[in-house]
Amino acid sequence: MKNWNNAVFLVILLNGKNVHLTVKSVFPYDSVELSPNGREVIILDQSQLPNQERFLHLTTAEQIFYAITRLKVRGAPAIGIAAAFGLAMCVNRFRTRSLQALEKEFLRVKHYLYISRPTAVNLMWALDRMERCFYTAKQSLDDAEEKHAIEVVRNALTAEARAIKEEDVAMCEAISELGFSLLRPGCGILTHCNAGHLAVSRFGTALGPIYLAQQQGYSPRVYCDETRPLLQGARLTAYELTKACIDTTLICDNMAATLMSQGKIDLVFVGCDRVAANGDVANKIGTSSVAIVAKYYKVPIYVFAPTSTIDLDCRSGAEIIIEERPAFEVTDMYYSKRMAPKDVRVYNPAFDVTPASLIAGIVTEKGILKPRDIKNLRKTK
């Protein structure tokens, strides 16, 4: 596979011939970037979409933490990339001549960002990878480099953070190609939350194959769950897909069964935040309800997960920490007036666990796996 100008070159066997397919990103920008000098993290503020395309230039650990917790940057891979960029940016900006002081600051920022959101494992995966990079660089310093130790470590961390993003782009390319093989011309796909360009480095996971299908003239029909309470489906997925001129219909979360009973949905494609070793999957709240309904109507549900989302240390979905978010998001946000009585108790889990038994396949960059085969994957970097 060759990468050129945001394009994915794919070779697939079509009518017995090798055919090159090209997917172009619908966006001229990525949702998370590190500035060329490594001193700013630039994000597209997803909390303002679809009404405003506003970019934020983040220069402190606190700003990165806030951007992650307030979902200005969101989606499992994008959170991991933002945290890695944030850590590199903080190290690049920290003024010191002492490697020990730099190490202390590195660990402070790492531990601080580590707890910004609990469910998406990409966050911890990326930060742990940055820590391994820090100590590898420190240990490998020879006598000559000792004098420039700080620069060597800074350069290594900046390169590692950029590599995390570039590898994610490559994973999304491979996942898009594999997912495309599941689609047929004119098929109807239901998706929940947002697992597109905005949630990753580029292209998307669950939405990647849909972009490719559109480009290949398959004219996919996509139904987006609005995804209460934070409306990632309505605000982000519908925004991405309509921008790409894809046939998109927005539905409320409780309408999926009706559409399935009418035969309008051939497949369900969703992203995920953590895959446990037994194939259970945590994703945006409401995914398990969709999976249960899909099972009833015999509609296959595919979960899209780069290997950075797979947590082999987590034995089953029961071990995944589910983030609980403020009541305000349910009662007030996106309403012009508070819509529930003042004293009512609210429960707002941000994710749920879909049991492995309901999932037709997990699409990783290494192949489309049965959930039971996840445990056989080797740990990634």
Residues from 120 through 159 that contact ligand MRU (CB under 6 A)? 120
Regarding 273 and contact with ligand MRU (CB under 6 A), the answer is yes
Regarding 216 and contact with ligand MRU (CB under 6 A), the answer is no
Regarding 74 and contact with ligand MRU (CB under 6 A), the answer is yes
Which residue in 168, 225, 266, 273 is the catalytic one? 273
Closest CA to 206 of 234, 251, 241, 255: 241
**Least distance (Å) between residue 285 CB and ligand MRU:** 8
Segment contacting ligand MRU by CB under 6 A, of 52-60, 174-182, 191-199, 260-268: 191-199
Residues 6+ apart with CB under 8 A from 353: 280, 281, 282, 288, 317, 318, 320, 322
Q: Which of 165, 221, 235, 284 binds ligand MRU (CB under 6 A)?
A: 284
User: How many Cα neighbours within 13 Å face the side chain of 316?
Assistant: 4
Active site residue 313: no
Using the CB atoms, write b or e for 263-294: b if 16+ within 10 Å: eebbbbbbbbbbbbbbbbbbbbbbbbbbbebb
* Pairing outcome for strands 310-311 and 17-24: unpaired
Establish whether the linkage from the previous residue to 326 is cis, with ω within 30° of 0. no
Regarding 350 and contact with ligand MRU (CB under 6 A), the answer is yes
Residues from 76 through 115 that contact ligand MRU (CB under 6 A)? 76-77
**Least distance (Å) between residue 187 CB and ligand MRU:** 21
**Least distance (Å) between residue 202 CB and ligand MRU:** 12
Q: Which of 232, 278, 308, 354 binds ligand MRU (CB under 6 A)?
A: 232
Regarding 72 and contact with ligand MRU (CB under 6 A), the answer is no
Q: Lay out the sheet containing 274-276: strands in order across.
A: 310-311, 274-276, 281-284, 351-354
Regarding 161 and contact with ligand MRU (CB under 6 A), the answer is no
How many CB atoms are located within 10 Å of the residue 297 CB?
A: 14
CB 318 within 8 A of CB 285: no
Please spell the DSSP secondary structure of 74-92, one letter per residue.
Answer: -SHHHHHHHHHHHHHHHHH
| Secondary structure class of 309 (helix, strand, coil) | helix
**Least distance (Å) between residue 194 CB and ligand MRU:** 6
- The residues facing 223 across adjacent strands are 190, 249
CB 241 within 8 A of CB 209: no
- The residues facing 14 across adjacent strands are 17
Instruction: State the binding string over 1-20 for ligand MRU (x if CB under 6 A, else -).
Output: --------------------
Segment contacting ligand MRU by CB under 6 A, of 68-76, 80-88, 213-221, 238-246: 68-76
Q: Which of 23, 91, 152, 195 binds ligand MRU (CB under 6 A)?
A: 195
Complex with ligand MRU: residue 154 or 325, whichever CB lies closer: 325
Regarding 286 and contact with ligand MRU (CB under 6 A), the answer is no
Catalytic machinery residues: 273
Binding site for ligand MRU (CB under 6 A): 71, 74-77, 120, 193, 195, 199-200, 205, 232, 271-273, 283-284, 350
